[in-house]
């Protein structure tokens, strides 16, 4: 596996700057050009049976161009080769094509783009252990009878924005993500994730120890529960799944103005969550850049729910113009990229004792709305769901389907949140490694409703 991290930070940033400056010299009349760059220098490793089965590196840079004249604009994307002659030729051909297309498109009444000439550069590079060191730790974790399956991804990710008006923004960070499961047999598995900016050997070992404890419990005869309400502890990964459903249109200005938000009752009827619930878009603590695709900057934090009360929206520049309000640099889909939920008072170390008797839920899947306007969600338990009696894990529990509202889970029925919030990265890499992340505590719920 290659450990080469490609061009240095300054080289990547300078190359982007020079290319857009060159392209600006080929504009005509009153044309304005905006450009975005998304790229990565990443290493990927796939594990199976605790051993490396596939390893490789990805070096990619995608350039997005938007050619504007008045209220008409057209856009396109292309892959960069880092060869100046080839990339300039591609950009020139793309500009010609965009001009031809622009002549045939209607005016965009809500077109908006940054007209600033500000320049920013924020780089967060950390030294991760050599891949061989991490592979050794993962192999050691999978040395037992369980089948360790997962993917490790690490390296630099970078985003840039530039315009012909002189604006330049750059953000780059070094991150890693390890997404794995330890399979005992059939559908009996313990799932875990570890992600961040710096590798902590002790933190990883603690996660492996917990997975081992789950596997020992999974080896017992599973039990089936009847439908009904149960006292439940939701691991951070399970709670994050529920929060992501809330974020599906829950925090965007446009979804509120069009009454499509799942949090409609909070806005129109004054519904509230538990006073300990505070949720924000915490850009400064996440992996996403502090600017969005039209070049508008994002504040360090936007508080969305404060002490159970809905307090703010994510407002993209386009929605801001459409509805006549100031934007806060949200992306066009107006969903959190760096969601953070404030921790609570419950000690994480003693959560089984706090749960007492009830369900310990490690993961959820197949989530969807059963009643969107009421923020009622349904889904299935998955991996690491156990019956706990008097603070002790008794047995794994066969799959259950829950159907409940966020107003119950994080409102009337919420006992409390743990005193630690776990950092979790989105492990997806369909086009490039995702920069979405979240910090989420665990939640103790007095009663969660299960339909079957």
Evaluate if residue 1 carries a pLDDT over 50: no
> Can you tell me which residue has the tokens 């220098």?
41
Report if pTM > 0.85.
Answer: yes
pLDDT in tens, 250-267: 999 999 999 999 999 998
Mean of the per-residue pLDDT values of the chain: 92
Closest CA to 134 of 185, 196, 212, 188: 196
pLDDT in tens, 345-370: 999 999 999 999 999 999 999 999 99
Sequence ranges of the domains in the chain: 9-130+152-177, 220-450
Q: Name 43's bridge partners.
A: 57, 154
Evaluate if residue 2 carries a pLDDT over 50: no
**Strands 422-425 and 437-440: what pairing?**
antiparallel
Residue 189 phi/psi, 5° resolution?
A: -150, 155
Q: Name 388's bridge partners.
A: 358, 393
CA distances from 44 to 52, 176, 375, 386, 445 (A): 10, 10, 37, 32, 37
Evaluate if residue 247 carries a pLDDT over 80: yes
pLDDT in tens, 54-63: 889 999 999 9
Q: Are 198 and 177 in contact (CB under 8 A)?
A: no
pLDDT in tens, 392-417: 999 999 999 999 999 999 999 999 99
Measured between its terminal Cα atoms, the distance across the chain in Å is 46
> Can you tell me which residue has the tokens 């300990």?
276
Q: What is the dihedral of CA 65, 68, 74, 78, to 10 degrees?
A: -10
Is the domain covering 9-130+152-177 a CATH 3.40.50.2020 domain? no
Q: Is the dihedral of CA 98, 171, 422, 254 positive or negative?
A: negative
Evaluate if residue 146 carries a pLDDT over 90: no
The encoded tokens of residue 14 equal 């300078």
């Amino acid at each position: 596996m290659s450990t080469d991290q490609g061009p240095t930070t300054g080289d990547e940033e300078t190359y982007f700057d020079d290319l857009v400056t060159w392209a600006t010299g080929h504009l005509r009349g009153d044309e304005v050009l905006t450009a975005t760059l998304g790229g990565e220098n990443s290493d990927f490793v796939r594990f199976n049976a605790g051993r490396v089965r596939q390893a490789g590196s990805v070096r990619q840079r995608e350039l997005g161009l938007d050619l504007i004249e008045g209220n008409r604009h057209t856009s396109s994307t292309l892959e960069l080769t880092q060869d100046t002659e080839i990339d300039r030729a591609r950009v020139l051909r793309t500009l010609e094509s965009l001009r031809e297309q622009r002549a045939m498109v209607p005016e965009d009444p809500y077109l908006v783009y940054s007209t600033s000439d500000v320049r920013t550069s924020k780089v967060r590079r950390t030294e991760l252990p050599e891949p061989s060191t991490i592979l050794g730790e993962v192999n050691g974790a999978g040395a037992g009878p369980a089948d360790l399956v997962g993917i490790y991804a690490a390296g630099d990710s970078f985003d840039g924005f530039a315009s012909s008006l002189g604006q330049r923004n750059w953000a780059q960070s070094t991150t890693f993500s390890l997404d794995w499961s330890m399979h005992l047999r059939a559908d009996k598995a313990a799932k875990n994730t570890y992600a961040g900016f710096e590798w902590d050997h002790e933190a990883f070992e603690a996660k492996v120890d917990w997975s081992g404890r789950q596997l020992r419990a999974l080896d017992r005869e599973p039990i089936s529960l009847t439908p009904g309400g149960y006292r439940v502890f939701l691991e951070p990964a399970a709670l994050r799944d529920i929060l992501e459903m809330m974020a599906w249109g829950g925090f965007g200005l446009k979804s509120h103005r069009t009454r499509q938000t799942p949090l409609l009752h909070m806005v129109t009827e004054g519904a509230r969550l538990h006073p300990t619930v505070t949720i924000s878009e915490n850009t400064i603590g996440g992996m996403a850049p502090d600017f969005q695709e039209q070049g508008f900057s994002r504040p360090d934090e936007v508080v969305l729910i404060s002490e159970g009360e809905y307090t703010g929206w994510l407002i993209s520049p386009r929605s801001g113009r459409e509805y006549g309000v100031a934007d806060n640099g949200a992306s066009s889909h107006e969903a959190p990229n760096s969601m953070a939920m404030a921790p609570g008072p419950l000690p994480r170390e003693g959560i089984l004792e706090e749960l007492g008797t009830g369900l310990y839920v490690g993961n959820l899947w197949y989530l969807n709305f059963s009643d969107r306007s009421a923020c009622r969600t349904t889904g299935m338990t998955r991996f690491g769901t156990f019956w706990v009696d008097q603070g002790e894990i008794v047995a794994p529990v066969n799959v259950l389907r829950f159907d409940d509202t966020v107003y119950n889970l994080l409102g009337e029925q919420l006992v409390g949140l743990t005193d630690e919030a776990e950092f979790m990265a989105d492990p997806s890499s369909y086009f490039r490694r995702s920069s979405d992340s979240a910090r989420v505590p665990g939640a103790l719920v007095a009663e969660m409703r299960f339909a079957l």
